[in-house]
Amino acid sequence: MKGGIKSWPQSERPREKLLQHGCTALSDAELLALIIGSGDAATSRSALDLGRDLLAEFQSLRSLSDASCAEIQRIKGLGPAKASSVKAALDLARRLRGEQRPIESFTRFTSALQVYEQFSDLDYEFRDIRKEYFMVLLLDGKNRIIKRIRVSEGSLNQSIVHPREVFNVAVRESAAAIILLHNHPTGDPTPSPEDLEVTRRLRDAGEVMGIKVLDHIIIGEGAFYSFAERGHI
C-alpha cells in the first residue's frame, strides 16, 4: 500500500489489528512496526516497510536480537531512537523467557535431555550469546538443584576453566554432584579437543574431591551433546 500507515484502512493498520485481534494476528514485520512507531519521511517508507527491511537484512528475529544498535542503524530510516527501541524490546523478550521457567523450579534432574530443554528455554541467559559460556549446576544427593554458577566466558580452554574455580564453590555449597554445561555459538555441539580435555580434568578432580561430575552437556542450535550418554564420563 502507498502512503503512510495512517492512510490505510483501519483494519489493515498494525495497532488497530492488535487491539481488535491480539498480537497473534500480526506478522513479525507488523510487530516491529509498532515498536518502531513511525516511518521515515525522507524516504517515504512506513514503519511497516522499515520492519520488513529489518527482517530482510537480518533474516530472523534471533539474528536481529543479536545485532547492535549500530548495525540496526545501517537500515536507512532507522536512527538511534528507533534502533534503541527495537533493541530494548527484543532484549525484554529474552529476559521474559528467562523468567518464565527458572531452573530452580526443577526439583530433580534425571536426564541430559531435561537439562538441555531447560536451558534451551533460557534464551536471554544462555543460548543466544555469541561467546562460549561455561556454567556449573550444583546438585544435592538427590540430584536436586542447589545453585547454578557461571564460571567463565570466552573460548573454552584449560586456563579459563580451572578445577579450583569449579570445586571451591561446590564445596562451599555442600554439593554432592555437579553437571557441567556450556554453549557452542556456532550451533554445532560436537566437542572440541579442548572440551574433551577440560572434561577429563574436571572429572578427575571431582573424583579426588568426592564430588561426582554427572555429565558435561554442550548446547548447540536445536541439538546437544552429552558426555555421559556418549560414555565419556
Q: Has this prediction a pTM greater than 0.75?
A: no
Per-residue model confidence as pLDDT tens digits over 165-216:
889 889 988 999 999 999 888 888 999 998 999 999 999 999 999 999 999 9
- pLDDT at res. 159: 44
Residues above pLDDT 70, as percent of the chain: 82
From CA 171, how far away is CA 12, in angstroms rounded?
A: 60
Q: What CATH number belongs to 101-226?
A: 3.40.140.10
SS3 state at 108: coil
pLDDT in tens, 91-138: 888 777 655 445 554 557 788 998 888 776 544 455 555 678 888 999
pLDDT at site 40: 83
Q: So what's the architecture of 5-98 in CATH?
A: Orthogonal Bundle (1.10)
∠ CA 222-223-225, rounded to 5° = 160
Instruction: Output the nine-digit C-alpha cell for 207.
Output: 573424583
Same fold for the pair 5-98 and 101-226: no
Give residue-wise pLDDT tens across range 37-84.
888 888 888 899 999 999 999 998 888 988 899 999 999 999 999 999
Q: Residue 24: what pLDDT?
A: 84
- The H or E element containing residue 226 is strand 224-226
Domain boundaries, given as residue ranges, for the chain = 5-98, 101-226
Write phi, then psi, for 136 (nearest 5 degrees). -125, 130
